[in-house]
């Protein structure tokens, strides 16, 4: 009697279930890490905006009246075909204070769904350089 070699259907199903469980655990972690790495765009741009605000203060002796259009760096303009992942605003203007905010854009870029949903998805920096992260960036 010949002995048949191979896998049974049950063995194959068990392997498929194990792969599905591992993928189900790994994919959310991967997505969270990708989103945190994208936050570096916001931190870099906020740092450049902060430098521009300091130059604005040197010229005007106040932060009052500063807008993204009046400082010398506008991160809201996509350059070289890049996709913007954040929108940037200036707020909390005072004679010696400001707050810069990067808010994650919700929707799709090149067919890729961008996260959004409940809760704030923002990163802020103030005149002192203090960075605050909310949502998936915390």
Structure confidence by residue, pLDDT tens digits, 10-64: 999 999 999 999 999 998 888 888 888 888 889 999 999 999 999 999 999 999 9
CA distances to 25, 70, 115, 121 from 104, rounded to whole Å, are: 25, 23, 8, 6
Residue 51 makes CB contacts below 8 A (sequence gap 6+) with: 73
Per-residue confidence (pLDDT) for residue 22, from 0 to 100 = 94
Closest Cα to residue 122, out of 87, 91, 97? 87
**What are the sequence ranges of the domains in the chain?**
41-137
Per-residue confidence (pLDDT) for residue 118, from 0 to 100 = 45
């Amino acid at each position: 009697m010949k002995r048949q070699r191979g896998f049974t259907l049950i063995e194959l199903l068990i392997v498929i279930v194990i792969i599905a469980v591992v993928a189900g655990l790994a994919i959310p972690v991967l997505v969270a890490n990708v989103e945190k790495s994208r936050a570096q765009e916001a931190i870099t741009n906020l740092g450049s905006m902060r430098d521009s605000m300091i130059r604005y203060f040197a010229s005007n002796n106040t932060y009052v009246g500063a807008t993204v259009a009046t400082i010398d760096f506008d991160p809201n303009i996509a350059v070289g075909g890049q996709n913007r992942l954040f929108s940037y605003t200036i707020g909390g203007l005072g004679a010696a204070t400001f707050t810069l905010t990067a808010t994650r854009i919700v929707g799709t870029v090149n067919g890729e769904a961008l996260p959004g949903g409940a809760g704030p998805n923002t990163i802020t920096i103030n005149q002192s350089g203090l960075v605050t992260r909310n949502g998936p960036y915390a």
